[in-house]
């Protein structure tokens, strides 16, 4: 397997033309995500300011991940992944542009919910298919670099650029924000036309022979994940991280307001500190993965992330909180990027979509539960206690769950990944 070893940091060629097309398409779609995720709550609040209505929008938007994540993984493993991402982006663009006419006047809550649900279905397909394409585009030893650059694009365009743009556009007209989101998704679809040949051969192989029922495909994917110790334990750690992240993030605004005495601008600056740390981590994690064993790097970054959450709960000044969030952003990427690359590397070609769908289901499916637990803990103890307790649980859980794994995460020849045209010329890229 391509484990990280000292001395592999020599200059390497770029990730190639196909990856550049995927990157610019991902950047456009993430900008669309940033606009729409800010826009839809604003539209609901403007016409239906009840807390239940706003909470319902989030639930409806996340529901497709619970309902369709596993079937989406089967479809991604059977069909042309490039076309799945392309058509998903086209659907999102068409829905947003079509909603301009419907939402120009009155904004019925049912229409906003339907819009959020349809966008959620398309997101489930696109976000499952795009990472599953990566091992065939860049080869195995470049997965950390590629995932790092895609993660940086997500943070910059989705978390940092998209929300303020959406806020400005809504101030002008809601239709302008809808149009911007629709155009960004359409651009993302068009840019994927640059990926002409990478997925074509795989799609022909995937569709050869009779197609098994979707339920059978789901069972096969779950058996593969549960039967592979590295995948099973890292997915359990991802579920734990989803619980901790949602429990703490749901209370961050209260920590900012009650404990740190910050206004809305100060809260926004705290979020920016975390995003800047994540951007730095997306650059640093691939470099560390070239020098350190992948599982060891991921494990200790997850432990450090837990300690950063605890430090955030103990912070008594805005500067201390900003440093804790900045560090947590770095450590979050130090966990996410190596472990995602490891899963891609250990998964055979025919299971890439299903493993990705199970991964998203574990992490995202845990978030509603974590948010509820965070609220209960804050009511029973205090808001800072949520961060200290959750941080300690994450650090201890990371040590317990990941300690049994080998430093390289390799469990044997049964997990050999499919061939890639760039692999055979370099023995260091083989499992």
Q: Which CATH number characterizes residue 61's domain?
A: 1.20.1250.20
- The CA angle 189-18-20, to the nearest 5 degrees, is 75
Do 186 and 272 belong together in one domain? Answer: no
105 occurs within a structural domain: yes
Q: How many Å apart are CA 172 and CA 163, to the nearest integer?
A: 15
Is the separation of the CB atoms in 21 and 144 below 8 Å? no
Q: What is the pLDDT of residues 390-427, one digit of tens each?
A: 999 999 999 999 988 876 665 544 444 333 333 333 32
Q: What is the DSSP string of 156-222?
A: IIIIIIHHHHHHHHHHH-HHHHHHHHHHHHHHHHHHGGG--STTHHHHHHHTSSPPPPHHHHHHHHH
Q: What is the DSSP letter of 424?
A: T
Split into its structural domains, the chain has a count of 2
| Chain centroid to CA 420 | 25
Do 187 and 235 belong together in one domain? Answer: no
Q: What is the pLDDT of residues 86-140, one digit of tens each?
A: 999 999 999 998 888 777 667 778 888 888 899 989 988 998 888 888 888 887 7
Is the separation of the CB atoms in 253 and 239 below 8 Å? no
211 occurs within a structural domain: no
Q: Mind listing the pLDDT tens digit of every residue in the chain (431 residues)?
A: 333 333 333 345 567 788 888 889 989 998 888 888 878 877 877 777 776 677 677 778 778 888 888 898 889 888 888 999 999 999 999 999 888 877 766 777 888 888 889 998 998 899 888 888 888 888 778 888 888 888 888 888 887 777 777 777 776 777 888 888 899 999 999 988 877 655 554 444 454 455 678 888 888 888 998 888 999 999 999 999 988 988 888 788 888 888 888 886 787 788 888 889 989 999 999 899 888 888 899 999 999 999 999 999 999 999 999 999 999 999 999 998 999 888 888 888 888 888 888 888 888 777 778 877 888 888 889 889 999 999 999 999 999 999 888 766 655 444 443 333 333 333 233 33
Domain span holding position 158: 14-196
Report the candidate in 237, 227, 233 with the shortest Cα–Cα distance to residue 351. 227
- The CA angle 50-52-57, to the nearest 5 degrees, is 105
Do 260 and 143 belong together in one domain? Answer: no
Do 191 and 76 belong together in one domain? Answer: yes
Do 192 and 237 belong together in one domain? Answer: no
401 occurs within a structural domain: yes
Of 172, 196, 220, the residue at which a domain comes to its end is 196
Angle between helix axes 229-254 and 383-402 (nearest 10 degrees) is 170
Of 173, 196, 219, the residue at which a domain comes to its end is 196
pLDDT at 91: 94
pLDDT at 3: 39
Q: How many Å apart are CA 177 and CA 32, to the nearest integer?
A: 10
Do 232 and 191 belong together in one domain? Answer: no
Of 153, 176, 196, the residue at which a domain comes to its end is 196
pLDDT at 389: 95
Do 237 and 159 belong together in one domain? Answer: no
Q: Quick check: helix, strand or coil at residue 233?
A: helix
pLDDT at 198: 54
Do 346 and 392 belong together in one domain? Answer: yes
Do 82 and 181 belong together in one domain? Answer: yes
Do 51 and 184 belong together in one domain? Answer: yes
221 occurs within a structural domain: no
pLDDT at 142: 82
216 occurs within a structural domain: no
Radius of gyration of the chain, Cα coordinates, nearest whole angstrom: 21
Whether the CA torsion 81, 231, 26, 214 is positive or negative: it is positive
424 occurs within a structural domain: no
Do 239 and 353 belong together in one domain? Answer: yes
34 occurs within a structural domain: yes
Do 66 and 142 belong together in one domain? Answer: yes
pLDDT at 324: 95
Q: Quick check: helix, strand or coil at residue 241?
A: helix
97 occurs within a structural domain: yes
CA distances from 29 to 41, 84, 413 (A): 19, 14, 37
């Amino acid at each position: 397997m391509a484990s990280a070893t000292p001395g592999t940091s020599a200059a390497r060629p770029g990730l190639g033309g196909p990856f550049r097309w995927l990157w610019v398409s991902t950047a456009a779609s993430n900008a669309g995500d940033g606009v729409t995720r800010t826009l839809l709550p604003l539209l609901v609040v403007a016409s239906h300011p009840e807390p239940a209505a706003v909470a319902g929008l989030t639930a409806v938007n996340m529901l497709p991940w619970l309902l369709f994540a596993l079937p989406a993984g089967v479809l991604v493993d059977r069909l042309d992944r490039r076309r799945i991402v392309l058509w998903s982006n086209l659907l999102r663009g068409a829905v947003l542009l079509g909603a301009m006419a419907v939402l120009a006047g009155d904004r019925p809550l049912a229409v906003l919910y339907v819009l959020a649900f349809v966008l959620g279905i398309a997101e489930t397909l696109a976000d499952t298919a795009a990472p599953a394409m990566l091992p065939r585009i860049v080869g195995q030893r470049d997965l950390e670099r590629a995932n790092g650059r895609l993660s940086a694009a997500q943070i910059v365009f989705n978390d940092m650029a998209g929300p303020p743009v959406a806020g400005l556009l809504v101030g002008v007209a809601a239709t302008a924000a809808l149009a911007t989101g629709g155009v960004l998704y359409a651009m993302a679809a068009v840019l994927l036309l640059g990926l002409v040949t990478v997925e074509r051969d795989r799609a022909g192989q995937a569709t050869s022979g009779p197609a098994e029922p979707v339920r059978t495909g789901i069972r096969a994917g779950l058996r593969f994940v549960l039967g592979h110790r590295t995948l099973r334990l890292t997915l359990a750690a991802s579920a734990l991280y989803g619980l901790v992240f949602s429990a703490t993030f749901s209370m961050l605004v209260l920590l900012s307001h009650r404990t740190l005495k910050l206004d809305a601008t100060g809260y926004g600056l705290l979020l920016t500190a975390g995003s800047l740390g994540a951007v730095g981590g997306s650059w640093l994690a691939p470099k560390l993965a070239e020098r350190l064993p992948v599982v060891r790097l991921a494990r200790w970054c997850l432990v450090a992330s837990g300690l950063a959450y605890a430090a955030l709960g103990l912070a008594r000044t805005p500067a201390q909180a900003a440093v804790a969030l900045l560090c947590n952003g770095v450590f979050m990427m130090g966990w996410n990027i190596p472990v995602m690359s490891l899963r891609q590397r250990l998964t055979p070609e025919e299971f890439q979509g299903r493993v990705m769908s199970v991964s998203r289901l574990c992490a995202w499916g845990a978030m509603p539960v974590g948010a509820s637990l965070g609220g209960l803990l804050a009511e029973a103890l205090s808001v800072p206690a949520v961060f200290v307790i959750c941080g300690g649980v994450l650090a201890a859980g990371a040590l317990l769950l990941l300690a049994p794994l080998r430093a390289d995460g390799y469990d044997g020849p049964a997990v050999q990944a499919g061939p890639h045209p760039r692999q055979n010329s370099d023995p260091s890229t083989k499992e």
